[in-house]
Amino acid sequence: MNALDSIQRRDHLDSASAVAARIHAVPGLTEEVVRRISNEKEEPEWMLAIRLEALKAYRQRSLPNWPRQPDLSGLNLDAISYYVAPDARQSHTWDDVPEEIKDTFEKLGIPEAERTSLGGVGAQFDSEVVYHRLKEEIAAQGVIFEDLDVAVKEYPEIVRKHFSKCISPNDHTFISLHYAVWSGGTFIYVPRGVSVEIPLQAYFRMNTRAMGQFEHTLIVVEEGAKLHYIEGCSAPRYEASSLHAGGVEIFVGKGANVRYSSVENWSKNTYNLNTKRAIVEEEGTIEWVGGNLGSRATMLYPCSILKGRNARANHLSIAFAGEGQDQDTGAKVYHLAPGTTSMVQAKSISVGGGRTNYRGHLFIKKGAKGAKASVECDALLFDAASSTDTMPAIEVKERDAEVAHEARVGRISDENIFYLRSRGFTEKEAVEMIVNGFMERITKELPLEYAVELNKLIALEIEGSLG
Amino acid sequence: MMTPTASSASSVSSSSSSSTSPASSSLFPELLRQRYPDRDVLLPPATIATPTGKWSHKELWTREDEDTVAAQRAKPEHHASFLYEEQDGVTITPFDKLDERRRALVHERLLTLLPRDRQTAAHLAALTGGLLITVTANVEKPLRIRHRFSRGTDANRSTIVLLGPGTEVSLLESFDGSPRRASHTFEAFVAEGATLRYCQLQTMNGILVSRKAAVLGRDATVEWLEANAAATTYSRTTTFLEGEGSSTTALGLFLGQPGARLDLGAEARHLAPRTTSVLAARGALAGDASAIYHGVLRIGPSAEKSDAFQEAGTLLLSEEAESKASPELLIENNDVRCSHAATAARLDEEKLFYLRSRGLSEDEARRLLIAAFVWPLLGRLSGRANEFITDVLPLVERYAADALGGRRTPMKKNNKNEA
């Protein structure tokens, strides 16, 4: 069995490995915990100041209360461990990584991914990146691909200039929490005019019971540069619910091109309350390609702020909700300058009582002349117990703008299945083919191994749900 | 054309009895006590909540408007406030002329199809007048009811329509004049196999709150057409598709004049198998008009084989106009067909250029394009509902002319910039 096959087996993704944690913060969030995290990381004063400011904001906020939002009542914020560091030092070669961690990554197929020429591998095991490498020729171009904790110390000017400047620590409850306790994550800097031809990749994994994962990803791509970054996320299954509240900040320079791909497959008792945002300068492009299939509840709405003239945003996403799952995902796009364009394509599949929702906000500022925006939502419902909502919000303040929104909901038609069966396929194969076809627009944008992973995982989920 | 059944509007103020206590100004005080024993705990009307905040026009909802002041200012109205023509197969009774039996009918049905919120309670508390309409046969000609309002008054009115099995009626209600604030509710109870075609023309100044709802029996049909050129409006139309095979088409035409604040919405609740719905809204916004549209298709778990479609389109005629739309699908059954679409655009410069090259003046060309934009909406009317088109078209034409008049200067400036 190769690593690619093994990655699709849920029991690998859902099993915890026996790494002894070096520090395990007392559950619950206090100022002491925040100061301890900062102290442990030997952070500069300014970072501690951001943390404490965020903690103050977090304490003044309450949980979101939106119409038809996922049920967050199972989330006990006082029982979450806000910081866990595995007993391992930062490593730069595969041989230095502890055996259990290596074993977990073997199951997840990471060395395989590296062999298939991915640029660098940064894997976050719990809260700290323990394995990190970047091919030499990319480093030689001046590209930085680092654990953010390390980057705070090694590249303080550039990190300080951008950190928390795209997403304010005061934006909403879970991002305030995130800024107070963030740990680990990726820092990528691509200098002006440099094109990173092979995708950079990181894998995040939650390994401790009832822990929170709060990794922060900071990506700065300078004028005319190009980057494709891929994240995969998972967590083993424990009885106590876990929380993932990450933050992703992307700065897309003038004429730069950034693609951010992620497959989030957290275990089914994780609350994935994540925030991702990009600021795009003149003629720049941000592309979000994402799959959400794990977790009990997801609330994730990647956001593109099209700040410069002719900036572009593409959002491609697929959400999958099986039994007991609520995938509340969407996209937010803000057209702030003339000539900006955006395209959102959101697909969802609900099976076995699962619920999906597309929740979006499309905003066209007065003065954004010639802006063009389109939003397309497609939902596939497998059975009568499942449900799907589409709640787009479209706000247009500029006359010279074109906005189009379309949504469709349907089930797999009996005729299509009948046709495929008449051509000699089994019912299961027929369903798989139709589902793969439904997702193709998204999966073809993912690197091959992620596309295969996504297809297989969804096939497995559907098989499980249909019995 | 219309023959008033009662004396002229001047009699309205003279016949109205003055009362100071809010409760006693209600037409149905006992109903108010029975339905809303504790009004303070009621929720305010629902607004659209988006991931970035709530959408609402503050002009529409002040606690003051909802409650105390409205109740004190509202005075029971004379039946002369309504102008209509009697017809065979239909009985119309103003609320101040109800007999015991009809009074019981109103008690049983009034405001039962609307949300139990503060607004509904306030409406009932300060109800000033209304009509009970019972349809017992196929009514041949459209029934037109004109609501008259005295300048600067507050009026809370309700219309209840009961359609017997297999009956059919076309009903048009128009609102004009300049009250300070008018709250109107419309509730239709449509029995098995019956058909209601309802058109509402809103051209009044002041604040209009219009909430409409219908509940449909087996194979019943409701066609809604709301043509809105009022200044400040909150309007919601809800259809409960309770009977198997029932269907609705809810069309909203909005013509926002400079200064207009429109908060419009339509909802179809599919509660039975083989139900169908079409929600469509189209309109134009001139000057600094601002419109919020909230469309909801809700398909319940028992509504298999249902078919639902929703469409919203806005034409922005000026630099200051603003449009917000949230067309939602809430689906809990997989054996359905459901889709929606929303667009926002401005007048197509190429089409304008073409029309001008054919010898039309710029104003004529623009007027034609505005009419052409809203026309597909009216095209969704079924055969007999087309009789409303003659009522609606003059509104569109007048609006197109006004809208251009109001913004001629900035338009020329804009053209120069683009050239």
Q: Which residue has the higher pLDDT, A443 or B75?
A: A443
Instruction: Return the residue in B47, B331, B347, B415 with the most chain A beta carbons within 10 A, the one to mutate for interface testing.
Output: B331
Q: Does B331 touch chain A (CB under 8 A)?
A: yes
Does A413 reach chain B within 8 Å, measured CB to CB? no
Q: Which residue has the higher pLDDT, B414 or B149?
A: B149
Give yes or no for A366 touching B (CB within 8 A).
Answer: yes
**Nearest CA-CA partner of B113 in B210, B242, B214:** B214
State whether A381 and B316 contact (CB < 8 Å). no
| Contact status of A467 with chain B (Cβ, < 8 Å) | no
Distance of residue A279 Cα from the nearest chain B Cα, in angstroms: 17
Residue B371, pLDDT > 70, answer yes
Could you tell me if A299 and A272 are in contact, meaning their C-beta atoms sit under 8 angstroms apart? yes
Highest mean pLDDT among A193-207, A436-450, B285-299: B285-299
Q: Residue A429: which pLDDT band, with cuts at 50, 70 and 90?
A: confident
> Which residue from B158, B164, B53 is spatially nearest to B96, judged by alpha carbons?
B158
Among the partner-chain residues A330, A332, A396, the one whose CB lies closest to the CB of B323 is A396
Tell me the C-alpha distance between B411 and B404, whole Å.
Answer: 9
Does A405 reach chain B within 8 Å, measured CB to CB? yes
Q: How far is CA B389 from the centre of its chain?
A: 16
Res B66 pLDDT > 80:
no
pLDDT for A99 beyond 70: no
pLDDT in tens, A270-282: 899 999 999 999 9
Residue A428: what pLDDT? 82
- Of all helices (H) and strands (E), which one includes residue A400? none
Any CB–CB contact under 8 A between A421 and chain B? no
Cβ of residue B8 closer than 8 Å to a chain A Cβ = no
Nearest C-alpha neighbor of A70 from the set A389, A437, A397: A389
Ranked by mean pLDDT, the top range of A236-240, A402-406, B343-347, B379-383 is A402-406
In the numeric block, which tokens belong to residue B301? 């778990």
Mean pLDDT, residues B118-123: 84
Residues A334-364: tens digit of each pLDDT = 999 999 999 999 999 998 889 999 999 999 9
Query: Using 50, 70 and 90 to split pLDDT, how confident is the model at B53?
Result: low
Q: What pLDDT does B419 receive?
A: 30
Please give, rounded to a whole number of angstroms, the shortest distance from the CA of B204 to a CA of chain A: 26
What is the percent of chain A with per-residue pLDDT over 90, rounded to a whole number? 44
Burial of B218 (0-12, 13-18, 19+ CB in 10 A): middle
Q: Which amino acid is at A96?
A: D
Q: Which residue of chain B comes nearest to A302, CA vs CA?
A: B51
Give per-residue pLDDT as tens, B337-369.
888 887 777 777 888 888 888 888 888 888 888
CB of B322 less than 8 A from some CB of A: yes
Determine the residue type at A433.
M
The partner residue sitting opposite B339, judged by closest CB among A366, A402, A407, is A407
Which of chain A's residues have a Cβ under 8 Å away from the Cβ of B329? 379, 388-390, 407, 409
Q: Quick one: pLDDT at residue B252?
A: 94
Average pLDDT over residues A241-267: 91
Measure the CA–CA gap between A253 and A397, rounded to whole angstroms.
26
Which of residues B399 and A203 earns the better pLDDT score? Answer: B399
Q: Indicate which of B328, B411, B417 best probes the interface with A, i.e. most A CBs within 10 Å of its own CB.
A: B328
Cβ separation B331–A388 shorter than 8 A: yes
List beta partners, residue B236: B211, B265
pLDDT score recorded for residue B368:
85
Helix and strand numbers, DSSP H then E, in chain A: 13, 24
Give the gap in angstroms from C-alpha B360 to the nearest C-alpha of chain A.
23
Give mean pLDDT, residues B185-191. 97
- A245-284: string of b/e by CB count within 10 Å (b at 16+)? bbbbbbbbbbbbbbbbbbbbbbbbbbbbbbbbbbbbbbbb
Mean pLDDT of A52-59: 93
Q: What is the pLDDT of residue B415?
A: 36
Residues of B whose CB is below 8 A from A400? 346
Q: Does B49 touch chain A (CB under 8 A)?
A: yes
Q: For A397, which of B322, B336, B346 is closest by C-beta distance? A: B322
Q: What is the pLDDT of residue A74?
A: 86
Region B11-40: mean pLDDT is 59
| Mean pLDDT of the B369-393 span | 85
C-alpha angle with apex B231: B228 to B236, nearest 5 degrees?
Answer: 50
More confident: A436 or B219: B219
The per-residue pLDDT for A316 is 94
Res A204 pLDDT > 70:
no
Q: Is A392 on the interface with B (CB under 8 A)?
A: yes
Nearest CA distance, A349 vs chain B (angstrom): 11
Give residue B12's pLDDT. Answer: 34
- Worst-scoring range by mean pLDDT, B67-81, B151-165, B206-220, B297-311? B67-81
Per-residue pLDDT tens digits for B198-238: 999 998 888 889 999 999 999 999 999 999 988 889 999 99
Quick one: average pLDDT of A124-152?
73
Query: Which tops the pLDDT comparison, A140 or B27?
Result: A140
**Angle at CA of residue B108, ends B270 and B82, nearest 5°:** 90
Provide the pLDDT for residue A27.
59
Residues 6+ apart with CB under 8 A from A246: A178, A185, A204, A213, A214, A215, A216, A217, A274, A275, A276
Residue A387 to chain B, least CA–CA distance (Å): 4
Q: Can you tell me the distance from the alpha carbon of A101 to that of A131, in angstroms, rounded to the nearest whole number?
A: 10
Residue A130 predicted with pLDDT over 50: no
Cβ-Cβ contacts under 8 Å for B87 (sequence gap 6 or more): B139, B140, B141, B143
Mean pLDDT of A38-64: 92
Q: Higher model confidence: residue B240 or residue A450?
A: B240
pLDDT category at A435 given cuts 50, 70, 90 is confident
Which 3 state secondary structure label does DSSP give B394?
helix
- ipTM of this model? 0.75
Q: What is the DSSP string of A265-324?
A: E--TTEEEEEEEEEEE-TT-EEEEEEEE--SSEEEE--EEEE-STT-EEEEEEEEEE-TT
pLDDT number for residue A211:
66
**What number is the average pLDDT over the span B36-64?**
64
Tell me what the pLDDT averaged over chain A comes to: 82
Please list every residue in chain A whose beta carbon sits closer than 8 Å to the beta carbon of residue B335. Answer: 384, 411
Lowest-confidence segment of A118-127, B28-37, B102-111, B168-177 by average pLDDT: A118-127
What count of other Cβ atoms lies within 10 Å of the Cβ of residue B386?
Answer: 12
Distance CA A378, CA B403 (A): 37
Kindly identify which residue of chain B lies nearest to residue A396, measuring between CA atoms. B323
Q: Residue B410 above 70 pLDDT?
A: no
- Average pLDDT over chain B, rounded to an integer: 82
What pLDDT was estimated at residue B51?
A: 54
In sequence order, which residues have a C-beta less than 8 Å from that of residue A261 and are 6 or more positions away?
A199, A228, A229, A230, A231, A289, A290, A445, A446, A447, A450
Give kind and range of the element (H or E) at residue A32: helix A31-40
Nearest beta carbon to residue B341 from set A360, A381, A405: A405
Give the residue, A312 or B321, on which the prediction is more confident: A312
More confident residue, A227 or B34: A227
pLDDT above 80 (res A149)? yes
Say yes or no for a CB contact (<8 Å) between A379 and B324: no
- Tokens (6 digits) for A142: 């001046």
Residue A462 has pLDDT above 90, yes or no: no
Is A302 in the B-facing interface, judged by CB distances under 8 Å?
no
Contacts of B334 in chain A (CB under 8 A): 381-384, 386, 411
Distances (CA, A) of B37 to A213, A256, B120, B123, B276: 49, 63, 13, 15, 38
- Of the listed ranges A330-334, B42-46, B128-132, B384-388, the least confidently predicted one is B42-46
pLDDT confidence tier of residue A112, bands split at 50, 70 and 90: low
Statement: residue A249 has pLDDT above 50: yes
**Which amino acid would we find at residue A439?**
M
Query: Do residues A256 and A226 make contact, with C-beta atoms less than 8 angstroms apart?
Result: yes
Average pLDDT, integer, range A42-49: 94
Half-sphere exposure of A381 (CA within 13 A, CB side): 28
Residue A50 has pLDDT above 70, yes or no: yes
CB-based burial label for A437 (10 Å; 0-12, 13-18, 19+): exposed
Comparing CB atoms, the residue among A381, A396, A405 nearest residue B334 is A381
Q: Label residue A54 by pLDDT band (50, 70, 90).
A: very high
**What are the domain boundaries of chain A?**
1-300
Annotate B325-382 with DSSP letters as a single string.
Answer: EEEEEEE--SSEEEEEEEEEE---HHHHHHHHHTT--HHHHHHHHHHHHHHHHHTTS-
User: In this structure, how many other beta carbons lie within 10 angstroms of the beta carbon of residue A127?
Assistant: 32
- Residue B377 in this model has a pLDDT that exceeds 60: yes
Cβ-nearest to B49 among A67, A392, A402: A67
Nearest CB neighbour to B321, from listed A301, A359, A399: A399
Count of A-B CB contacts under 8 Å: 123
pLDDT at A182: 93
Which of the residues B306, B329, B346, B373 would you substitute to probe the A interface, choosing the one with the greatest number of A C-beta atoms within 10 Å? B329
**Nearest-angstrom CA–CA distance, A187 and A203:** 14
Give the gap in angstroms from C-alpha B407 to the nearest C-alpha of chain A.
Answer: 13
pLDDT at A135: 60
- Predicted local confidence at residue B45, as pLDDT: 65
Residues B263-311 pLDDT 10s: 999 999 999 999 999 999 999 999 899 999 989 999 999 999 999 999 8
Q: Nearest Cα to A152, choosing from A254, A51, A230?
A: A51
**Range in A69-83, A248-262, A301-315, B151-165 the model is least confident about:** A69-83
Residue B127 pLDDT greater than 70, yes or no: yes
Say what the pLDDT of residue A199 is. Answer: 80
Nearest CA-CA distance, residue B290 and chain A, Å: 9
Q: Across the interface, which of B49, B51, B335 has its CB nearest the CB of A411?
A: B335
Share above pLDDT 90 across residues of chain B, in percent, rounded to a whole number: 38
Residue B23 has pLDDT above 50, yes or no: no
Inform me whether the C-beta atom of residue B334 falls under 8 Å from chain A C-beta atoms.
yes
Q: How far is B402 from chain A (nearest CA, A)?
A: 18
- Range of lowest pLDDT (A75-84, A131-140, B16-25, B147-156): B16-25
